[in-house]
Amino acid sequence: MPKKVITFGEVMMRLSPPGYEKFSQASSFDLVYGGGEANVAISCAYLGMKAAHVTRFPDNALGRAATQFLRKHWLSTEHVIYGDQMLGKYFLEKGAVHRPSEVIYEREGSSFSLIEPSMINWEDVLKDADWFHWTGITPAISEGAYFCCLEAVKAANKMGIPVSGDINSRSNMWKYGKTMQEVIPTLVEHSDVVITSSRGIREMFELDRPNDKFQDLAIELINLFPNINKVVKKTRRTLSASHNQIQGKLWNGKTYLTSNMLNITHIIDRVGTGDAFAAGLIYGLLHYNDAKAIAFASAACALKHTVPGDVNMVSLENVQSLMEGDTSGAIKR
């Protein structure tokens, strides 16, 4: 029986100039849909898991088109809710070589930002789930989104469902009167697995230890929040916009594990690579030991760099092959 993962968060429309054109060159835009948490669910579905995404869409043709996008990628949408009229969107100008990518968001006042806890029955949503995943973006969007997420992690705890949080957030998103230092700890205390960075731990938990290594900070985080059993990090070395290296790191309270460094020499699309890492980690932790799980997560992340769009549409066999050392890219016949 396939394992089932539930995710919660906003789905936006992504508009990009064709290829590597700049905004000033564009006369048309390529359109896809994506959002960090939905990207995780879709990636898990491509790996063979059952997956569902909980969100709120506008009650119009764009909301229905976004729902169709989720269904196309094998997600259950039975817990999608509808209301108001605006779908969040963002514009992406893809970088190349030494020119960085640029992103412009238009999400204030979106249908999802107006979500309220009374709109979702989390015990019903989670009744057959094996995993729940959230990110630090969702509680930054609005107070309603934060309280919905808090109810979700509490319900998952009550029902014995493992919870993962990818807690790296963007400080400029917090505009409704609360700070990430106030909010993120209230969600982390109900999480079993935390994906973050050294900087994220320092900033969100106000730890004044600028020279501490990730392992030291991970130990401190587990001491602060005993419910956490794993702290995970993705290390990226950026040699250019087209050439990166990826490595995963995991502290499980007893052992510090690292994956092999993967060399990505020709990046097609970097957006969604962190979500691919999270999805690979979830799959790995549900099916493998910790060492194999972090290797699987890193391989999934590396492969996403080769896929246009927000979502990692690679198969279980693709990830396993790279995890086992096959970097040839040879045709599969």
DSSP 194-253: EEE-HHHHHHHTT---TT--HHHHHHHHHHH-TT--EEEEEEEEEEETTEEEEEEEEE-S
Residue 69 Cα to chain centre, angstroms: 17
Q: Mark out the alpha helices in 116-191 (DSSP H runs).
A: 122-125, 138-141, 143-158, 180-188
List of the chain residues with pLDDT < 70: 330-333
Token pair of 287 as six digits: 């099916």
Which residues, other chains included, contact 128 with Cβ-Cβ below 8 Å and sequence gap of 6+? 4
Gap between the Cα atoms of 146 and 139, Å rounded: 4
**Residues with Cβ within 8 Å of residue 120, at least 6 apart in sequence:** 54, 79, 81, 148, 151, 152
pLDDT of residue 330: 67
CA distance 315 to 46: 6
Domains of the chain: 4-323 (3.40.1190.20)
Cα-to-chain-centroid distance, residue 256 = 23
> Helix or strand or coil: residue 133?
strand
The whole-number pLDDT of residue 153 equals 98
Question: Which residues, at least 6 apart from 163, have a Cβ–Cβ distance to it below 8 Å?
Answer: 131, 132, 133, 134, 153, 156, 157, 190, 191, 192, 193
Task: Supply the pLDDT for residue 269.
Answer: 86
**255 φ, ψ (degrees, to nearest 5):** -130, 140
Reading the block at residue 286, the tokens are 């549900």
C-alpha to C-alpha distance for 302 and 187, rounded to whole angstroms:
28
pTM: 0.94
Q: How far apart are CA 139 and CA 174, in angstroms?
A: 9
pLDDT at 208: 75
Q: Are strands 50-54 and 131-135 parallel, antiparallel or unpaired?
A: unpaired
End-to-end CA distance of the chain: 28
- Per-residue pLDDT tens digits for 268-307: 988 899 999 999 999 999 999 999 999 999 999 999 999 9
For residue 12, the cross-strand partners are 34
- Tokens representing 89 are 């969107």
DSSP element (H, E) containing 100: none
Two tokens at 140? 């930054």
* 3-class secondary structure, 99: strand
Ranges of beta strands (E only) in the chain are 4-8, 12-16, 30-34, 50-54, 56-57, 81-82, 89-93, 102-106, 131-135, 163-166, 193-196, 230-240, 243-251, 256-258, 262-264
Say if CB 272 and CB 311 are below 8 A apart: yes
Q: How far apart are CA 241 and CA 261, in angstroms?
A: 18
pLDDT of residue 309: 84
Q: Give the pLDDT score at 331.
A: 61
Mean pLDDT score of the chain: 94
Q: How many CB atoms lie within 10 A of CB 189?
A: 15
**Residue pointed to by tokens 């602060």:** 224
